[in-house]
Amino acid sequence: MIDIAVFGANGFVGSSICSELKNKRNFIKITRENFSQYKGEEFNIIINSAMPSKRFWAKQNPELDYKETVLKTKNILLNYKFKKIIHISSVSARCQLNTVYGRNKKESEDLVKRAKEYLIVRLAPLYGKDLTKGVLIDMLNNSKVYIDGSTKYSFTDISWNAKWIVENLNLQNKLVEIGATDYIELNELRKLINSKSEFEGEIDDQIVLNKSYKFDSSMLVLDFLKKVKNEIHKNKKM
């Protein structure tokens, strides 16, 4: 029996989980290319990090997002044998139920709760070295951000999240939100990084509610943004 299977292993979250699992647990990567190959195999744990994380795309493509979020989760539950499933979700499943993205995340969670053993991990907004899209990238590029500037985010590093997930695989039949212990308002963040981005849209607060675990501070995102800005400046000089 294979110990762990990571679905969505090439994605932003999945690849970070795989890096954290390396040299610690026996695992395989499951991607679109080999998705069907392991049907019927038995695993101790499957980690589902295969759902899309594009909220604007979900709004424009509701049927495709439903397919890639809800139906894909259902497919995994029905076609793979496992003792426990770790389901990587989003705080949007609580705070954005008025959106396609949030509703689909919540419906996928409800499917997972039918499993005998599960752990649902809702992630707050993320940053990390392979980040290529989202609010932070838009602000670094001085692009328009399509949410209200008073929005509050509990930013955390993807590597920290991956480490937390791997260290807590033993949690049983729980739903946990992980992210920063605090939050930062986007208007404040814009000032701190001297961004010229303009905001337009609705308030989109994504704050972690349960503080039962020791989390990092959202202000650490400033170190990440400073590093990325320095790299951009360096590349422009070359």
pLDDT (tens digit per residue) in 107-153 = 999 999 999 999 999 999 999 988 888 899 999 999 999 999 999 99
What is the mean predicted confidence (pLDDT) over 173-188?
93
The count of domains in the chain is 1
Q: Are 81 and 43 in contact (CB under 8 A)?
A: yes
| Whether the predicted pLDDT of 238 surpasses 60 | no
- With a cut of 60, say whether residue 170 has pLDDT above it: yes
Q: What is the CATH number of the domain that holds 60?
A: 3.40.50.720
Mean pLDDT of 70-80: 95
Q: What percent of the chain lies above the pLDDT cut of 90?
A: 74
Contact 219, 192 (CB under 8 A): no
- Rounded Cα distance between 180 and 92, Å, is 15
Give the chain's mean pLDDT. 91
Residue 212 burial class via C-beta count within 10 angstroms: exposed 0-12, middle 13-18, buried 19 and up: exposed
pTM of the model: 0.91
Q: pLDDT-derived band of residue 233, with 50, 70 and 90 as boundaries?
A: low
Measured between alpha carbons, how far is residue 118 from residues 32, 41, 61, 92, 205 in Å?
Answer: 23, 18, 29, 19, 27
The per-residue pLDDT for 236 is 61
171 and 208 in contact (C-beta within 8 Å)? no
Q: Provide the pairing of β-strand 152-153 with 184-185.
A: antiparallel
- Band of pLDDT at residue 235, cut at 50, 70 and 90: low
Residue 170 is part of which domain span? Answer: 2-237
